[in-house]
């Protein structure tokens, strides 16, 4: 019911910034809570950030608190992840994900709760 396409990743030096975007198809973007995840090598996808369908509630994984900011523009069917003060350990493929929600304040930190996934965008942080 929704397709997600990430963009905005690339190569950046330690301490640099990127803005990742996730564009969603469909008419009902505003019903979806959105999340960003990144897998470690050989591991399942780890939670990075999430935002409720209205944008009123957000959550972050401890390693990115204070450095990353998730936001959304429902009029543009887009969710963003601003990544600042990047570290080499932030290097990963970043995936956005969507799950329909009945509550405007709800979001999930669990990858298994999400029904739709983008193809991912690579962020590489070098010294």
Q: What is the DSSP code string of 17-65? A: -EEEEEEE-SS-GGGEEEEEEEEPTTSPEEEEEEE-TTSS-EEE-GGGT
Q: Tens of pLDDT along 10-39?
A: 999 999 999 999 999 988 999 999 999 999
Provide the pLDDT confidence category of residue 1 given band limits of 50, 70 and 90: confident
CA 71 to CA 81: how far, in whole Å? 7
Rg (CA), the chain: 13
> pLDDT value at position 33?
98
pLDDT of 9 over the 80 cut: yes
């Amino acid at each position: 019911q929704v397709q997600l396409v990430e963009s905005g990743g690339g190569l950046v030096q330690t301490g640099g910034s990127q803005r990742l975007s996730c564009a969603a198809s469909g008419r009902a973007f505003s019903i979806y809570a959105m999340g960003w995840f990144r897998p470690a090598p050989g591991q399942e996808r780890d939670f990075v950030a999430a935002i409720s369908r209205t944008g009123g509630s957000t959550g972050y994984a401890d390693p990115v608190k204070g450095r990353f900011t998730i936001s959304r523009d429902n009029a543009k069917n887009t969710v963003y992840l601003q990544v600042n003060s990047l570290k080499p350990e932030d290097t990963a493929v970043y995936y956005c994900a969507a799950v329909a929600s009945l509550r405007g304040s709800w979001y999930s930190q669990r990858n298994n709760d999400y029904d739709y996934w983008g193809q991912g965008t690579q962020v590489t942080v070098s010294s």
